[in-house]
Amino acid sequence: GAVVSQHPSRVICKSGTSVKIECRSLDFQATTMFWYRQFPKQSLMLMATSNEGSKATYEQGVEKDKFLINHASLTLSTLTVTSAHPEDSSFYICSASDTNRDGYTFGSGTRLTVV
């Protein structure tokens, strides 16, 4: 089946630094990648949608200059949290979609802790 590899699984960083999260589709071409954020005991909230080779579309209230998304190839999308603050601490998870197959494939998630 379709697999999306997400790294790192856990990261602790200092306030003010940047963190990059990678999602890689291993056996299919991810034409669209969705990035979600999930705070404890809450639902998955969509942050942005990216299509390969074009700029990401951000959901209302999500700062595009703070959460940089790059979808430079059909197998790799990255989310960079810039100038991280403790309130950015959350579970970040990607989900890839391929128009040639039904459904959404989720990465394993990244637990970000900003201290």
Stretch that binds other proteins, among 16-24, 45-53, 63-71, 72-80 (CB under 8 A): 45-53
- Measured CA to CA, the distance from residue 86 to residue 54 in angstroms comes to 30
Q: Whole-number minimum distance, CB 100 to other proteins, in Å?
A: 8
Q: Please state, in angstroms and as integers, the Cα–Cα distance from residue 45 to each residue in 2, 57, 85, following that order.
A: 22, 14, 19
52 lies in the site for other proteins, by CB under 8 A: no
Closest by CA position to 79, among listed 91, 90, 88, 70: 70
103 lies in the site for other proteins, by CB under 8 A: yes
Note the residues at the interface with other proteins (CB under 8 A): 31-32, 34, 41-46, 49, 91, 93, 95, 97-104, 106-109, 111
